Amino acid sequence: MMYMILGRESESGLERRRASREAHLARLKALRDEGRLLLAGPLPSIDAEDPGPAGFAGSLVVAEFDSLADARDWAESDPYVQSGAWQGVEVQPFKAVLP
């Protein structure tokens, strides 16, 4: 089943995000290579392609996991959580309807 993972940025998230970005992307690429990633990306804090120093409000990941518990475990193990870039994550089942 698909799950939505919404990471909420911490106040010092931008610096911490930069420091742990490569490890975070490696995990996403592993999901992609396994055919389990539907989409992933950051949520800019302002209405701009590159928010610059305004940074991000968080990130969204939609991916397939065997269970809600597995999705939560994956999310809690993310380098953005571990580094403090995200102050927390919300994990919910997701049902793709379109396209």
pTM of the model: 0.94
Query: What digits encode the pLDDT tens for the residues 24-63?
Result: 999 999 999 999 999 999 999 999 999 999 999 999 999 9
Q: Sign of torsion, CA 2 45 15 87?
A: negative
The pLDDT score that the predictor gives to residue 99 is 86
Residues whose CB falls within 8 Å of the CB of residue 36, separated by 6 or more in sequence, listed in order = 63, 64, 65
Q: What CA–CA distances, in Å, run from 67 to 1, 48, 62, 73?
A: 7, 35, 13, 10
Rg (the chain; Cα; Å): 13
Domains, the chain, ordered by start:
2-94 (3.30.70.1060)
Q: In the predicted model, what is the mean pLDDT of the chain?
A: 97
